[in-house]
Chain A
Amino acid sequence: MRGWTGKLIRVNLSTQSIKLEDLNMDDAKKYIGGRGLGSKILYDEIDPKIDALSEENKLIFMTGPMTGTYASCAGRFNVIAKAPLTGTIGAANSGGHFGPELKFAGYDGIIFEGKSEKPVYLYINDDAIELKDASHLWGKNVFETTDALVEETSEGARVACIGTAGEKQVLFSTVMNDKDRAAGRSGLGAVMGYKNLKAVVAKGTNSIGVADNTAFQKAVLDARNKIRKDPISGIGGGLATYGTQVLANILNEAHSFPTRNSQDTVFEGTENISGEYLTENYLVRNKACFACNIGCGRVIKIPDGKYKGIVAGPEYEAGWSFGAACGVDNMNEIDKANHVCNMY
C-alpha cells in the first residue's frame, strides 16, 4: 500500500542496536493514523503495570499515511508512550516539519526501547541511521540543541528534541520539534529524558506516492474547498486572521474563560490578551505547519521593553493559562512566558 513507506525503525537504547522492520499492514489499516497505530504498538508491547519512567517503557514516534502529502494539515506526527503524568497511554501530536521529513527519509515511525547509558541522539539521513553521542548537548535548551544539531548533521535537517525540563524528567515536559512546535501532552519529554535520548534528527530525499491518484486528488480538493469556505478555518477566517487566541474574546463573552485559577469565568483584562490585540500590535506574519492551509501559527515581534525581539506567538492555551488563569493582562509577559516554555 502506498502512502505508508512500510518501514519502521526499532532502536534499543540499552544495547545501542538499530533494526528495520516492516509495518504490520493489517494493523495499519485497522488503526489508521499515527495515534491509532502507535497506541496499538504500545498496547501490544508493554505491560500496563510498568512504571512510565522505567526501561520497560517504550517511546514511539509515529506518522500517518497522509503525512507528507498535500492533504490539508497532513504534516502532523504523534509521540506515544506510557505517560508519566497520567499513568495511561500518552499520545501527544505535533505539527511543524519533523513528521513529513521522517516520511521523506523513508520511515513511518520509530520505536525506542530501553535506556541509553549516556546521552545520545538518533540521526536519520535516508538509509543511514545512527545513534550519536549527545553529551555535549545535555543541558542545552531546545533552541541551542536544534541549531547545534542542524549545524553538525546537515542543512535542512529537522529536529525533535527535549530541553532541560525533559532531561530533568519534569512530569509535564514536552518533546519539541522545529524549535517551537510541541508534542506537549502527558509529559512525554520526561520519558525521552529518562531514556537519555536528547533528540531525533531526520532528513530525507524520498518521495511519497499514493495508490489512487484520481481519488486522492478529488478527496483532498473536496476537503480543501470546505476548509476554504469555513468562517473559522477558511481563507480570511478567524484562525488565519487572529490565531488560536481568537478564542479569548469568544469564551470571555460566553462567560467560560477560566480566570484566576478558575475562580471566575470572565476576565476583565481579556481585551489586552486577545487574538485581536495580538494581531494589531505584535503580528509579523502567520506561520503554518507543513501542508496546512489554515496557518494559525504566529510570528510576533515584541516591539519594546525588556522582552524586545521576534518570537513565536502564544497559542490559546498559553494565552489563557499565563493570562486570564494567572490574572495577567500584559501581552509582553505572556509572550515571554510562552517563549521560555518553548525554550526549556
Chain B
Amino acid sequence: MKGIVISPEKCTDCRLCELACSYTKTDGFNPKDSAISVLSFDEVGLQVPMTCLQCEDPHCMTVCTVNAITKDEKTGLVKVDHDKCIGCKMCVSACPFGNMTYSPRLKQVIKCDLCEGTPQCVAICDTGALEFKELDGFLKKKQYIAGQFKEAFEEV
C-alpha cells in the first residue's frame, strides 16, 4: 500500500504543495482550499506539512451520517462522495489531526484523495519533504523526527 510520507525536517515552508493541490482540485490557486497545509513553528524553526493519513479506522467515516465517506480496502484510500455529502461538517470535528477541512467558498469538505495515484503535492515538492511510496519500515525515521521534536522543545 502506498501513501504520502511526510518528512517535516526537509520542508522549507514554500507552500507549493498547497498551491498544486488547490489548483488541481478547484478553479484556481488558494491555500485555504487545499487538502494539504503547512503549519509553521517559527520560534523553533519547524514546518510541518499536514494532510490526510488515510486512516485504517477513519473517524470521519464513522461519524458520517449519510455514508458519503468510504474506504477502499485495496488501495487504502478514504474517499468523499460529494454528491452524497450534505455538508454537516461532522467529519471536520471528528478528524483527530484536523486534516478534514471545510471550504465556505466551495461549500464542500476538502480531503486528500491522492489524485488517483499521482499526488500533485508530491510531484511539485523538490525538497523531499513529501514522498509517495510503499509504507513500511519507518522506525528509523520516526526516531529521527522524535529526536528533532525533543531538541526543539528543549530549546523552548
Q: Which residues A250-265 have CB closer than 8 A to chain B?
A: none
Residue contact A284 to B124, C-beta cutoff 8 Å: no
Q: A70-B29, A210-B28 are in contact. Are A310 and B45 (CB under 8 A)?
A: yes
> Does any Cβ of B come within 8 Å of A321's Cβ?
no
Binds B, one of A21-29, A112-120, A182-190, A287-295: A287-295
Q: How far is the CB of A108 from chain B (nearest CB, A)?
A: 15
Residues of chain B within 8 A (CB-CB) of A170 are none
- The answer on a CB contact under 8 Å between B16 and A293 is yes
Q: Are A207 and B155 in contact (CB under 8 A)?
A: no
- Closest chain B CB from A301 CB (angstroms): 7
Q: What's the nearest-Cβ distance from chain A to residue B153, in Å?
A: 13
* Contact indicator per residue, chain A 226-238, by CB within 8 Å of chain B (1) or not (0): 0010000001000
> Among A68, A285, A286, which residue has its beta carbon within 8 angstroms of that of B29?
A68
Chain B nearest CB from A319 CB (Å) reads 19
> At the interface, yes or no: A179 with Cβ under 8 Å from chain B?
yes
The answer to whether B12 touches A286 (Cβ under 8 A) is yes
- Over the window 21-44 of chain B, the binary record of Cβ atoms lying under 8 Å from chain A Cβ atoms (1 yes, 0 no) is 011001111111100000000111
Residues of A within 8 A of B42 (CB): 179
Within 8 A of B (CB), among A91-127: 97, 104
Complex Cα distance, B40 from A297, in Å, reads 15
In the bound complex, residues from chain B placing their C-beta under 8 Å from that of A285 are 9-12, 45-47
The residue in chain B whose Cβ has the minimal distance to the Cβ of A72 is B16
Q: Which residues of A contact B15 (CB under 8 A)?
A: 97, 290-291
B69 on the A face (CB < 8 A): no
Tell yes or no: B19 within 8 A of A by CB: yes
Please pick, from B26, B28, B127, the residue contacting A295 in the complex, using a CB distance under 8 A: B127
Instruction: Confirm or deny: A41 has a beta carbon within 8 angstroms of a beta carbon on chain B.
Output: no
> Looking at the complex, which one of A70, A208, A209, A299 makes contact with B20 (CB distance below 8 Å)?
A70
A162 to B120, CA, bound (A): 38
Taking the closest CB of chain B, its distance from the CB of A237, in whole angstroms, is 10
Q: Is A205 an interface residue (CB 8 A)?
A: yes
Cross-interface CB contact of A70 among B10, B45, B46, B124, cutoff 8 Å: B124
Are A207 and B33 in contact (CB-based, < 8 A)? yes
**CB-contacts of A104-154 with B (<8 A):** 104
In the assembled complex, B150 has its CB within 8 A of some CB on chain A: no
Chain B, residue nearest A311 (CB): B45
Cβ contact within 8 Å between B29 and A290: no
Is B14's CB within 8 Å of the partner chain A? yes
Q: Please tell me which one of the listed residues A68, A210, A291, A310 contacts residue B43 in the complex, with CB atoms under 8 A apart.
A: A310
- Find out whether the CB atom of A295 lies under 8 angstroms from the CB atom of B31: no
Please provide the chain B residues from 101 to 130 with a CB less than 8 Å away from any CB of chain A in the complex: 104-105, 124, 126-127
Chain A nearest CB, measured from B31 CB (Å): 7
A246 to B22, CA, bound (A): 34
Say whether A292 contacts B31, CB under 8 Å. Answer: no
Least Cβ distance of B56 to chain A in Å?
A: 31
**Structural contact, B30 and A228, CB atoms closer than 8 A:** no
8 A Cβ contacts from A265-320 to B: 284-293, 295, 297, 299, 301, 310
Query: Which residue in chain B gives the minimum CB-CB distance to A213?
Result: B23
Chain B nearest CB from A167 CB (Å) reads 24
Q: Please give the distance in Å from A287's CB to the nearest CB on chain B.
A: 6
B131 contacts partner chain A, Cβ-Cβ < 8 Å: no
Is A206 interfacial (CB-CB < 8 Å)? yes
Interface residue from B19, B32, B127, B155 paired with A205 (Cβ < 8 Å) = B32
Query: Are B14 and A284 in contact, with the CB atoms below 8 A?
Result: no
Can you name the residue of chain B whose Cβ is closest to the Cβ of A299? B45
Instruction: Tell me if A69 is interfacial: C-beta within 8 Å of chain B.
Output: yes
Task: Give the residue name and chain of the B residue nearest to A208 (CB).
Answer: B29
In the bound complex, how far is the Cα of B124 from the Cα of A69, in angstroms? 13
- Distance (Å) between the CB of A127 and the closest chain B CB? 13
Check B13–A207 contact: CB distance below 8 A. no
Q: Shortest beta-carbon distance, A34 to chain B, in Å?
A: 17
With A207-B30, A291-B19 known as contacts, the answer to whether A286 contacts B45 (CB < 8 A) is no
Q: Please report B residues at the A interface, Cβ cutoff 8 Å.
A: 9-16, 19-20, 22-23, 26-33, 42-47, 104-105, 124, 126-127, 155
Question: What would 27 A/B residue contacts be, using CB atoms closer than 8 Å?
Answer: A69-B29, A70-B20, A70-B23, A70-B29, A70-B124, A97-B15, A104-B31, A179-B42, A205-B105, A206-B105, A207-B26, A207-B28, A208-B28, A208-B29, A228-B126, A285-B10, A285-B45, A286-B127, A290-B15, A291-B14, A292-B16, A293-B124, A293-B126, A295-B12, A297-B12, A301-B45, A310-B44
